[in-house]
Amino acid sequence: MHIRTLGPSGPQVSAIGLGCMGMTDFYSTGQDRAEAAATLHRAVEQGITLFDTADMYGPFTNEDLLGEVLAPHRDRVFLATKFGILRDPARPQHRGVSGHPDYVRQSVEGSLRRLRTDRIDLYYQHRIDPAVPVEDTVGALADLVADGKIRFIGLSEAATDTIRRAHAVHPVTAVQSEYSLWTRDPEETGVLATCAALGIGFVPYSPLGRGFLTGELKSPDDFAPDDYRRHSPRFQGENFLRNLHLVEALRQMAARRGVSASQLALAWVLAQGPHVVPIPGTKRRRWLDENVAAVALTLTAEERAGLEAAFPLRAAAGDRYPAESMGTVNR
């Protein structure tokens, strides 16, 4: 497994991590606990060290799963989890946000317990709370570092100004945002470049476009009734069909190179800088093996240019989140 550093002086992790969210939540299509556990074990065997979860996945079931399965491997893995999105069982698509220092202190205890560990390697604020200055939230996180409960601090979906303000209070080790061929927003917003300039690792989530860029998804009707993607504008009706054309171009380029569409999509993300560590998500060993192999793929300048021409900025039809969730993205 290739190794990357989250920022020039940050921790070393595998060049790709494993996104675990779909194992217990959101992508209910094909969920199988035994296969998810086998995938986690296989990831450790393959040399993956960065495992990504959050308290709101489930909620809580995802951390429980990782805590149970990864406990025997604890010293070989780098556990990243997140706090700050509040869910309401009565309104499944609603998202509350909290970055209050008391909430931070309370949340970390639950995550430590569920992950069966005495320290979290990377603790992200999942969404910036517009009602609480980021300096206050990061101040609480800095206290947790001093207490030894967390090792490194991260932010998810934070704007450049927020990143700079947070980094002035305590070094930020990683920023996690959606980034892929069909979501090139971090290039436009300057987040990717800001992280490089400040020595912060950048962790693209949904690097496979929540499965769309794999070329395996054929119809919005193929999702289980409670699969999250039924609520995502990009996966609905006319948008889905228009986006299929984008993926066809990716499939053709991948075929010319003799790799899968997923591998080409991951290789493009990995080529965006040495500080970039994507966390493709899967709950199956089969896809894990395929994704790990993408780390060894080096793209030519011509291939990169070809992909960027096929996927210009804002190429995807439809927003990446429903309107209410888009509202929680810090811009």
Ligand X SMILES: NC(=O)c1ccc[n+]([C@@H]2O[C@H](COP(=O)([O-])OP(=O)(O)OC[C@H]3O[C@@H](n4cnc5c(N)ncnc54)[C@H](OP(=O)(O)O)[C@@H]3O)[C@@H](O)[C@H]2O)c1
Minimum distance, C-beta of residue 123 to ligand X, in the bound complex (Å): 13
Looking at beta carbons only, is 103 or 124 nearer to ligand X? Answer: 124
57 catalytic? Reply is yes
Stretch that binds ligand X, among 1-9, 18-26, 133-141, 313-321 (CB under 6 A): 18-26
Q: Which residues of 112-137 are buried (b: 16+ CB within 10 A; e: fewer)?
A: bebbbbebbbbbbbbbbbeebbbeeb
User: At closest approach, how far in Å is the CB of 146 from ligand X?
Assistant: 25
CB of 237 to ligand X, least distance (A): 20
Going by the DSSP 8-state scheme, the letter that residue 183 receives in this structure is B
**Residues of this chain, 213-272, that bind ligand X according to CB under 6 A:** 214, 216, 262
Nearest approach, Cβ of residue 221 and ligand X (Å) = 16
**Shortest reach from residue 213's CB to ligand X, in Å:** 7
- Measured CA to CA, the distance from residue 302 to residue 227 in angstroms comes to 37
Which residue type does 126 have?
H
Find the binder of ligand X among 50, 291, 303, 320 (CB under 6 A).
Answer: 291
Candidates 10, 11, 99, 207: give the one binding ligand X (CB under 6 A): 207
Catalytic residue among 27, 57, 123, 321: 57
* Distance of alpha carbon 208 from alpha carbon 281, whole angstroms: 8
For residues 44 to 63, the per-residue mask of contacts with ligand X, x marking binding by CB under 6 A and - elsewhere, is: --------x-----------
Q: Is 22 in the site for ligand X (CB under 6 A)?
A: yes
Give dist(CA 169, CA 140) in Å, integer: 10
Within 10 angstroms of residue 91's Cβ, the number of other Cβ atoms is 10
- 3-state SS class at 203: strand
Identify which range of 129-137, 140-148, 250-258, 276-284 contacts ligand X by CB under 6 A. Answer: 276-284
With contact defined as beta carbons under 8 Å apart, do 52 and 80 qualify?
Answer: yes
Closest CA to 74 of 111, 117, 110: 117
In whole angstroms, what is the distance from residue 11 CA to residue 328 CA? 29
- Stretch binding ligand X (CB under 6 A), from 2-10, 115-123, 166-174, 283-291: 283-291
What does the block give as tokens for 277?
A: 């560590």
User: Using CB under 6 A as the criterion, which residues of the chain lie in contact with ligand X when the complex forms?
Assistant: 19-22, 27, 30, 52, 126, 156-157, 176, 205-211, 214, 216, 262, 279-284, 287, 290-291
